[in-house]
Amino acid sequence: MDIRFEEASVSFEGRVALHPLTLSLSERRIGVIGLNGSGKTTFARMINGLVKPSGGRVIVNGLDTVTDAERVRAQAGFIFQNPQNQIILPILKEDIALGLKAQKLSKDAVDEAVAAILKRFGIPHLAERRAHELSGGELQLAALASVLVTQPPILILDEPTNQLDLKNRDLVERTIATLDEDVIVISHDLPLVADFDRALLFDQGRLVADGPPRDVIDHYRELAA
């Protein structure tokens, strides 16, 4: 992973959501924390071009998120806070296959890729299920499968354990820990990111702490006290 923010900033209707930021990211597991409205989600969405910089640049694996937007999206998959909104087609295996259509693969190749990704996450039994029939943990696994079937090297997850019970939270945490992809996780779930390689803390649109997760979490607790 090679992500660079070069004086990148974002403003919405005159309000600064992210102040100019210069930063390089290369670690395999990065946590992004902060209070609601702190700028952490804006920051994360800039990485795959969901949010364009108002000033400066964001470079992902050598690609500019504005001028190379389509190629950037192939580099960085994004899983939203509510994964149910991410599953478009009614049947899970059809939704997973949708991400492969643009690659113009044969039907056999698509079927093989879908079967492989379902097996990877241990959910072949969910292939014919509908999104509204899945538990919270199953929805997260389904969203992971739908995004990772196209093999992006970077995965960004927005609050992946939000509103999950303990069983489903543990399922998602174990799954994240076994991912081969580089992972950036935005979360209020501090134990989830405590053992990551690096953590970033945002406050009022500024990066205010950056370093070992446990140190950054201690800073966050002081900030939120």
Tell me the CATH number at 112.
3.40.50.300
Return d(Cα 57, Cα 55) in angstroms, integer.
7
pLDDT of residue 162: 85
Residues 6+ apart with CB under 8 A from 156: 44, 47, 48, 76, 77, 78, 79, 183, 184, 185, 186
Q: pLDDT tens across 118-156, in order?
A: 999 999 999 999 888 888 888 889 999 999 999 999 999
What stretches in the chain show pLDDT beneath 50? none
Decide if 201 contacts 186 (C-beta within 8 A).
Answer: no
Dihedral angle of Cα 99, 105, 108, 109, to the nearest 10 degrees: -70
* pTM check: above 0.85: yes
Decide if 8 contacts 20 (C-beta within 8 A).
Answer: yes
Q: Is residue 217 part of a domain?
A: yes
| Domain span at 181 | 30-38+77-224
Q: Which of 30, 10, 21 is nearest to 154 (CA)?
A: 30
Q: Is residue 173 part of a domain?
A: yes
Q: Is residue 12 part of a domain?
A: no
Q: Is residue 147 part of a domain?
A: yes
Q: Is residue 6 part of a domain?
A: no
Q: pLDDT tens across 44-60, in order?
A: 999 999 999 999 999 99
Q: What is the overall mean pLDDT for the chain?
A: 93
Q: Is residue 2 part of a domain?
A: no
Overall number of domains in the chain: 1
pLDDT of residue 152: 95
- Residue 7: its H or E element: strand 3-12
Return d(Cα 194, Cα 30) in angstroms, integer.
10
